[in-house]
Homo-oligomer: A and B are copies of this chain.
Amino acid sequence: MPTAPRPGTKTDRLVRSLRDRIAARALGPGDRMPSIRGLAAQMQVSPSTVVEAYDRLTAEGLLQPRRGAGFFVTRAAQLPPLRVAAMEPTRPRDLDPFWVSRQSLDPQPGALQPGCGWMPGDWLPEAAMRSALRALARAETSVLTDYAPARGCPRLRRLLLARCAEEHLALTPDQLMLTASASQAMDLICRLLLRPGDTVLVDDPGYFNFHALLRSHQVRVVGLPRTPEGPDLAAFEAALAQGPRLYLTNSALHNPTGGTLSPQIAQRLLTLAAGHPLTIVEDETFADLEPEPSVRLAVLDGLERVLRIGGFSKTLSASVRCGYIAGRADWIEALTDLQVATSFGGPSPVATEVLRQVLAQGGYRRHLAQLHRRLARARRQAVAQLAPLGITPWVLPRGGFYLWTRFPEGCDTGEVARAAAARNVILAPGNVFSPGRTAGRFMRFNVTQMSDPAVLSALHGAMT
């Protein structure tokens, strides 16, 4: 991958650096590659290493050998590579959207993760999960062995439709589909609605994995400065002139700021969007962590131009994956075909049956009520822990486990994250969330991952 050298053979590293030079257009289509001897001398590797690297790049379709004339960059190499990580070759890996994801998903043994995006297992309804699994072991055979219907478990879909109805969002069954995850829901929508080169609006700061996903779709990303009450409307209005196709946002408990959309901004935003071919994707991932419900674009709009997506990884289990999309029936039908083509069938019946059982139990609402109180305590504690370091919250969230904080004058949170990583503490530096790189003094903390005193001491050490 096109970043600072990582473990790998000499050939791996040479292939990566050549790939980067091609991606960065330093070597353009039709260009003759350096001679094998010449490059070997230049890169201080053996000629056989260069030969192997050229062979690999040929196998990737980036180079073409011409008998007697050497290797040439192909026209195919001109097309932007779909390799997500190859799309910003000059970017340091630790500000790459993948850095926090990969570090959090594959931590070193004993790593502490105040930068990660989920709660420890003992904050989740573990007992309800276990009883659901025991019940599942007695379920009828088809649940254990068959593919899911193309739109996923009907009983879980009915349950989600009922929850929408509680919000005065009356949907027909053909307006809701289940997906393998909220991330996959977002990806399916991008595949349906976006073409390479389209303009897409996101919040700045915003969820870094959306930025990674959008890069893989080769679209132009425009960041809207996020105020505590929602996106900056002047920036939104200006961006509309660029004909954006999508706007991806969280209304409730926005990631990373924890802010919540105000009714006034919600209303003005929909009014400004009227008449523009803009679709809004409202991500409900954190909705169940809200103590009281707040305004939703999907509800105000009635799902005309808004698509609602969500999942259960943050509130119930990240191990049992399932997401959903609610929207216009004709879009759901096309998205269902896309899901069949790319995943064949809806999400695992084993997974959806576990979720359905946990959600259907009254215990889940009691669990949420306790969780809201516990999270409020943890947020207060985190604010108190960080204050002595001169780290202050940008806004006090109404719920959830994120705290978006400002560091003291002169602090570069990217450097702090690098230094903390050396102490095996994984932080989430602000610019990972900021397409405009305007969050160098900010950091997202997960208040449920800060109980170990080593977090604060590592943070303190990394700052000094």
Which positions in A face B, CB cutoff 8 Å?
1, 8, 12, 15-16, 56, 58-61, 64-65, 74, 76, 79, 82-86, 97-98, 101-102, 104-106, 118, 121-122, 124, 126, 129-131, 133-134, 136-138, 141-151, 180-181, 183-184, 187, 191-196, 198, 209, 212-213, 215-216, 245, 275, 277-279, 304-305, 313, 317-321, 328-330, 333-334, 336-338, 340-351, 354
Question: A242 to B209, alpha carbons, bound, how many Å?
Answer: 37
Residues of chain B with a CB closer than 8 A to A345's CB: 105, 318
Residues of chain B with a CB closer than 8 A to A58's CB: 277
Contact of A209 among B334, B340, B351 (CB under 8 A): B340
Q: Which residue of B lies closest to A354 (CB)?
A: B350
Residues of chain B with a CB closer than 8 A to A319's CB: 143-148, 348-350
Q: Which residue of B lies closest to A9 (CB)?
A: B329
Q: Which residue of B lies closest to A116 (CB)?
A: B147
Contact of A15 among B129, B330, B351 (CB under 8 A): B330
Residues of chain B with a CB closer than 8 A to A350's CB: 133, 317, 319-320, 350-351, 354
Question: A350 to B352, alpha carbons, bound, how many Å?
Answer: 12
Secondary structure type dominating chain A contacts: helix
Beta-carbon contact of A12 and B149 below 8 Å: no
Other than the known A12-B330, A187-B341, what 13 A-B pairs have Cβ atoms closer than 8 Å?
A: A1-B330, A59-B279, A74-B277, A76-B198, A79-B195, A98-B341, A102-B150, A105-B346, A121-B141, A133-B144, A183-B344, A319-B349, A351-B351
Residues of chain B with a CB closer than 8 A to A212's CB: 337, 340-341
Beta-carbon contact of B329 and A64 below 8 Å: no
Beta-carbon contact of A101 and B342 below 8 Å: no
8 residue pairs A–B, Cβ–Cβ below 8 Å: A61-B277, A76-B245, A83-B337, A102-B336, A118-B146, A122-B141, A137-B137, A180-B343
Question: A372 to B279, alpha carbons, bound, how many Å?
Answer: 51
Residues of chain B with a CB closer than 8 A to A329's CB: 8, 12
Q: How many protomers of this protein does the assembly include?
A: 2
Beta-carbon contact of B126 and A144 below 8 Å: yes
Contact of A145 among B187, B191, B194, B317 (CB under 8 A): B317
Min Cβ gap A418→B in Å is 20
Question: A298 to B346, alpha carbons, bound, how many Å?
Answer: 30
Contact of A334 among B83, B124, B334 (CB under 8 A): B83
Which 6 A-B pairs give the minimum distances between C-beta atoms? A121-B145, A121-B141, A133-B137, A212-B341, A61-B277, A147-B318
Question: A278 to B65, alpha carbons, bound, how many Å?
Answer: 14
Q: Which residue of B lies closest to A129 (CB)?
A: B144
Beta-carbon contact of A133 and B130 below 8 Å: no
Beta-carbon contact of B8 and A340 below 8 Å: no
Question: A346 to B183, alpha carbons, bound, how many Å?
Answer: 12
Between A8, A319, A334, the greatest number of chain B beta carbons within 10 A of the residue's beta carbon is seen for A319
Between A1, A79, A105, A320, the greatest number of chain B beta carbons within 10 A of the residue's beta carbon is seen for A105
